[in-house]
Amino acid sequence: MPDTPEKNELTHLIDERALARRVEELAREIAAKSQGVDELVVIGLLKGAFVFMADLVRALSRCGVRQRLGFIHARSYGSGTISSGEVRLGRDLDLDVTGRTVLLLDDIQDTGHTLSVATRYLEQAGAARVMTAVLLDKPSRRELPIQPDHVGFEVPDRFVVGYGIDYGESYRYLPYIAMLADDA
């Protein structure tokens, strides 16, 4: 086996079992709020939400929620671990959301700019209702007064990785959430 560099640089924060349990709970909360919706349109923000989305949509299916899935590419410009607040969306939504109930997913909410811009985009595209869910929330860093409808876990103001979340495109594949060491 090659050396795993993450060993020295990472501190575990949320393990696989806790993630799986919380995703099932989120699915039940969201299913309860989706009653009467014939088919939920679930939109994931790439790339970070892809693992969370893969687990959540299957958990929603176990709760009996029919879905249609789509993705939007979102980039928050900044350097290193600091978000700039400037968000660009790849306008490549491949689903018609007109009149639909949409569930927008992101990996982590930090300043709030990404979720705010993406919500506005879906509303302008004609969505009747946009619900938001994030796996992680760093409320201490919020710059906009917005709160996701569903939050998996609150995390401290530290840079986190794993379960889809990256640092410079590394670590997305980790099955758990970890904090990056300050000197990594």
Chain residues that interact with ligand IMP, rule: CB under 6 A: 48, 76, 83, 87, 106-114, 159-161, 165
Q: Please, what is the minimum distance in Å from the beta carbon of residue 119 to ligand IMP? A: 12
- The one catalytic residue in 106, 107, 110, 137 is 110
Cβ(69)–Cβ(132) below 8 Å: no
164 near Mg ion (CB under 5 A): no
**Residue whose CB is less far from ligand IMP, 63 or 85:** 85
Helix, strand or coil for residue 55?
helix
Q: Is 110 tagged catalytic? A: yes
Burial 122-141 (b: 16+ CB within 10 A, else e): beebebeebbbbbbbbbeee
Binder to Mg ion among 44, 48, 152, 162 (CB under 5 A)? 48
Q: Please, what is the minimum distance in Å from the beta carbon of residue 181 to ligand IMP? A: 13
Positions that interact with Mg ion (CB under 5 A):
48
